[in-house]
């Protein structure tokens, strides 16, 4: 295990020698990812504290209808299923089955993409019904109604809702791209490019995602740089580490779903 540490991380530096056994026998990349997740959980923790803080000190509206909750439940189902397929991908990678690793990763990405698309549609619907922040582009027929009143009277509600879910959606998007790079390496780049162009063309300009889609462009640039600087075949350890990230993103949703949706529902 100690030798594995050296081969993977201190690449090209010195010759492998005897090292103390690492903590829990974990290789460096895995320790690094765990540490990143620890700090990221504090980042999300601070956002959840901000949400709770506002919620406690404000008369909190409960506007979510059956339709919203159903949609969010389906999204939750997508993420839970994606965790299962991710586990299968890690198993496949560990027994050296490359094609099934790729298939399971693809399934995970499909569930993740479904989550993002469902979430994006829901955002657009809520914005159309009047749940907005001042900077959002005004949809053609912005409705007056309960959600519009909430945005006016309790700006904390849309602020925390969009803030938390945007941060999470960003993490899921990065996750899907991360898995795509691990599974398909440079062949994933054109797919990402096409998704960006098509998305930009299809999403109308009065939709908030017309600008949000540029996240894909940034990701495309970053992924290209990484793949050019360090072209390598991703192995079972890489798949496992990406799995850690993916499960963490799912876990965060398990906090957001009850706190943001279930506790703000009309359904009793």
Partner 1 sequence: MATPASVHAHAPQGFIRKYIFSLDHKVIGIQYYFLALSAVFVGMLLSILMRVHMIWPTASLPLLGEIKPETYLALMTMHGTIMVFFVLTTAPQGGFGNYVLPIQIGAPDMAFPVLNMLSFWTTFVAYMVMLAAFFVVGGAPLHGWTGYPPLSAIPSAGPGEGLGADLWITSIAIFCIASLMGALNFITTTLDLRAKGMTMMRMPLTVWSWFITAILGLLAFGVLLSAGILLLMDRNLGTSFYVPTTMVNGVMTWHKGGSPLLWQHLFWFFGHPEVYIAILPGMGVASQVLSTFSRKPIFGYRAMVYAMLSIGFFGFMVWGHHMFMSGMSPYSAFAFSLLTMCIGVPSAIKTFNWLGTMYKGRIRFSTPMLYAIGFVSLFVSGGLSGPFLAQPVLDIQLHDTAFVPAHFHLIMGVAAIFGIFSATYYWFPKMFGRMMNETLGRIHFFITLAGTYAIFMPMHYAGMAGQTRRYSQFTEVAFLQKLIPLNTFITWAAIITVSAQFIFVINLFWSMFKGPKASDNPWESTTLEWTTATPPPHDNFGGVTPVVNHGPYEYGVPGAAKDYVMQTDPPTGTSH
In the complex, the residues that contact partner 1 under the rule CB under 8 A are: 5-6, 9-10, 12-20, 22-23, 26-28, 31-32, 35-36, 38-47, 49-50, 53-54, 57-58, 133-135, 154-156, 158-160, 163, 167
**Residues forming beta bridges with residue 31, ordered by sequence position:** none
| Residue 100 CB, nearest approach to partner 1 (Å) | 30
Q: Which is nearer to partner 1, 226 or 263 (CB)?
A: 226
| Residue 149 CB, nearest approach to partner 1 (Å) | 13
Closest C-alpha to 55, from 197, 260, 233: 260
Q: Which is nearer to partner 1, 135 or 268 (CB)?
A: 135
End-to-end CA distance of the chain: 54
| Residue 259 CB, nearest approach to partner 1 (Å) | 16
| Residue 233 CB, nearest approach to partner 1 (Å) | 18
Q: Which is nearer to partner 1, 88 or 259 (CB)?
A: 259
Sign of the Cα pseudo-torsion (55, 151, 61, 154, in order): positive
Sign of the Cα pseudo-torsion (202, 204, 209, 213, in order): positive
Residue with tokens 């309790």: 154
| Residue 148 CB, nearest approach to partner 1 (Å) | 15
Q: Which is nearer to partner 1, 39 or 205 (CB)?
A: 39
Q: Which is nearer to partner 1, 31 or 118 (CB)?
A: 31
Using CA atoms, how far apart are residues 33 and 243, in angstroms rounded to an integer? 10
Instruction: Take residue 188 and report the two structure tokens written for it.
Output: 């994933």
**Residues forming beta bridges with residue 64, ordered by sequence position:** 265
């Amino acid at each position: 295990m100690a030798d594995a540490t050296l081969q993977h991380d201190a690449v090209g530096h010195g010759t492998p020698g005897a090292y103390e056994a690492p903590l829990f026998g974990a290789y460096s990349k895995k320790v690094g990812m765990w540490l990143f997740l620890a700090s990221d959980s504090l980042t999300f923790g601070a956002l959840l504290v901000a949400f709770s803080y506002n919620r406690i000190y404000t008369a909190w509206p409960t506007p979510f209808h059956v339709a919203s909750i159903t949609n969010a439940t389906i999204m939750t189902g997508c993420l839970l299923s994606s965790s299962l397929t991710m586990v299968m991908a890690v198993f496949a990678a560990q027994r050296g089955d490359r094609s099934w690793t790729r298939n399971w990763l693809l399934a995970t990405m499909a569930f993740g993409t479904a989550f993002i698309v469902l979430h994006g549609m829901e955002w657009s619907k809520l914005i159309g019904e009047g749940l907005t922040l001042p900077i959002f582009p005004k949809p053609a027929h912005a409705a007056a109604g309960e959600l519009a009143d909430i945005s006016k009277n309790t700006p904390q509600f849309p602020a925390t809702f969009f803030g938390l879910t945007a941060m999470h959606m960003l993490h899921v998007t990065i996750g899907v791209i991360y898995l795509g790079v691990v599974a398909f390496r440079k062949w994933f780049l054109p797919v990402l490019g096409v998704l960006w162009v098509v998305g930009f063309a299809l999403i109308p300009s009065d939709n908030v995602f017309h600008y949000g889609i540029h996240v894909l462009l940034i990701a495309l640039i970053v992924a290209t740089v990484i793949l050019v600087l360090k072209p390598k075949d991703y192995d079972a350890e890489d798949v496992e580490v990406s799995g850690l990230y993916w499960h963490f993103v799912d876990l965060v949703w398990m906090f957001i779903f009850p706190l943001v949706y279930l506790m703000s529902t009309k359904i009793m």
